[in-house]
Structure 1
Amino acid sequence: MHPYLFRTTSVRFSYQHCQDCPTRAECTTTKSRQGRALNLLPQAQHEALQAARQAQTMLEFQKQYARRAGLEGTISQGTRAFDLRRSRYIGLAKTHLQEVATATAMNVVRLWYWWTGIPKAQTRTSRFAALNPAIS
């Protein structure tokens, strides 16, 4: 079952209750005149979510994710720099030839960058995230 199809329980606290709460700073940082709103998953789904989050901290998961990140980077480079999503030709044979040529061109560009010492691009920092000096 898709995770967004679970029935959640919505809980809302009034502003008056949240305003006087001694632990408000741990719960929310909003300055608006609204109370806190929570959407709670059923217990089984919440426990599954917590188990998945715990598994993501394991070294095995991080190794698998590093492989996936490398593939995602290759696909991103292909779509941005080599127009990988668009086929110029009609027919499987010509389309396959274009894909092979594009892959070869990507490898040549990567070799060129390696030979000339051009470093790999770092993950882009959004303009919003760049405003936070702790991240930049």
Structure 2
Amino acid sequence: MFWAVVSRADHSLEAVAPAGPATAVDGYGNLPYFSPMNSRNTTARLEARLPGEIHALLKRAAELQGRSLTDFVVTAASEAARKTIEDMEILRLSADDQLRIAQAVLDPPSPVPALVRAAKRHRERVDPA
């Protein structure tokens, strides 16, 4: 598993979790989310059963923002989904932890004897010359 250390515009660093083949992370650690208004014209249907008081709450909030109930729910759900994905896939580090990672990358510690022996055994078994 490979973790990328990404430098942000504000000069902070972030360790970014590996992305799957369809979710490449850009140079700033941003995932390629699709907004509800993306260029594709495909739609999908979502139905939900909810208590009447939750429906009334959502409807009132949508009216206060001058939006349709569907638009309000889709936007709120999309934002919640993006935040959940970001919270689970991006590891935010303190300044001290950023320095520790950078130091370990720039000046890695010497391998312990057990690691040297394991690497030697691996080479002998995988690529015996």
**Do both proteins adopt the same fold according to a TM-score greater than 0.5, normalized to the shorter chain?**
no
TM-score, normalising length: structure 1: 0.24
Please state which structure has a larger fraction of its residues in helix: 1
Between the two structures, name the one with larger relative contact order (CA 8 Å, sep ≥ 6): 2
